[in-house]
Amino acid sequence: MEMAENTNMAAPELNSEDQAVYTSETNAGAGTGTSIVAPGYGTGRRKEAVARVRLVPGTGKWTINGRSLEEYFPSLLAQREVNAPIVLLKLEGKFDVIVLVDGGGISGQAGAIRLGVARALNAIDRDNNRATLKKHGFLTRDARVVERKKAGLHKARRAPQFSKR
């Protein structure tokens, strides 16, 4: 059995008008959510991190411990995680987010902020927001924490190496 060869190895030429920009960060209908725009508060926890989140009607400005979102979370993954509830409800640019977060690391703090934002949005307009947030799991506290170290072991589960002789 022979495989058919692709004889046309040249890439097709595209004009600048033909090229479309595709990105996973676009959100069609941004800012068109049906939620009430009012002040709200929520507390989020994950691992050792605790985040106190305040949402106030505004222009979409983030302040985390007195710093901007991009400054506090240089990682786009963490930025996307904390912004996920607002993007899901299509409320970008409608709230200023003020966060005080302490404890834990980057991942734990991002998860805590996400839960705090989701709880604040839920508190602002339960009728419009709760079902969507709950369906996507944003109102559920992630209960996974580090397992404690046990006596006689190196770590929580790592046992000393077995030696037959």
Give domain status of residue 55, yes or no: yes
Query: What separation in angstroms does the CA of 156 have from each of 132, 146, 152, 163?
Result: 37, 9, 10, 20
Give domain status of residue 47, yes or no: yes
Residue 55: domain span? 40-135
CATH number of the domain enclosing 85: 3.30.230.10
* Number of other CB atoms surrounding residue 117 within 10 Å: 27
Give domain status of residue 143, yes or no: no
Q: Mean pLDDT, the chain, as a whole number?
A: 86
Report how many domains make up the chain: 1
Give domain status of residue 124, yes or no: yes
Give domain status of residue 34, yes or no: no
Q: What is the pLDDT of residues 33-87, one digit of tens each?
A: 677 788 899 999 999 999 999 999 999 999 999 999 999 999 999 999 999 999 9
What b/e string do you get for 4-15 counting C-beta neighbours within 10 Å, with b at 16 or more?
A: eeeeeeeeeeee
